[in-house]
Amino acid sequence: MKLVDKETHGVKYQSVHKVILPDEDTYYKDIRNNVFRQECSDPEGGYSLKDKLREFNWELTGETTVINGYKCKKATAAVTSKYLNRSFPVYAWYCEAIPVSDGPSFYWGLPGLIIEVNMDNKYKISLTDIEIVKEAIVVKEPLNKNEMITREELDKRW
């Protein structure tokens, strides 16, 4: 974390900034067994999180668009963040032509691969490239690189 001195409209204050680069985290989902894992390599406090998959109450809107060459449909949901102490809207664009009920980070549960997810119109994760292989790939649960914590313990850290 970094403490930054700021001034806005003549008022001086300090702000705390923390940036976690997305390529430093590893996400693992076992949808059959309802397991979510996250390995965070934050140098100021890395952690290994093991939790149940989040449940989303997706509403399918019928809206369509093309994202990076994929015909997508829109779904919306509300996500509650203990860190932000509020709920915020999530907009997901999924592709039924790729019948995999998965997506980036902890998002999943739609009738096709999530190609793009927009959180609160502030953060967006987009698929830029995909390689579809014919042979089965065995994906193993990641090894714990850090202290294993629960979702509740992670919420207390923030």
What is the structure's pLDDT at 72?
A: 98
The larger pLDDT score, comparing residue 1 to residue 125, is at: 125
Q: In the predicted model, is pLDDT for residue 86 greater than 70? A: yes
Least confident of 39-43, 61-65, 121-125: 39-43
What is the structure's pLDDT at 145?
A: 77
What is the structure's pLDDT at 158?
A: 59
How confident is the model over 129-152, as a mean pLDDT?
81
**Can you give the residue ranges of every domain in the chain?**
25-130+147-157
State the pTM of this model: 0.74
Between CA 107 and CA 35 the distance in angstroms is 13
* Percentage with pLDDT > 70 across the chain: 80
Tell me the pLDDT band of 21, cut-offs 50, 70 and 90. Answer: very low
Q: In the predicted model, is pLDDT for residue 83 greater than 70? A: no
Q: In the predicted model, is pLDDT for residue 20 greater than 50? A: no
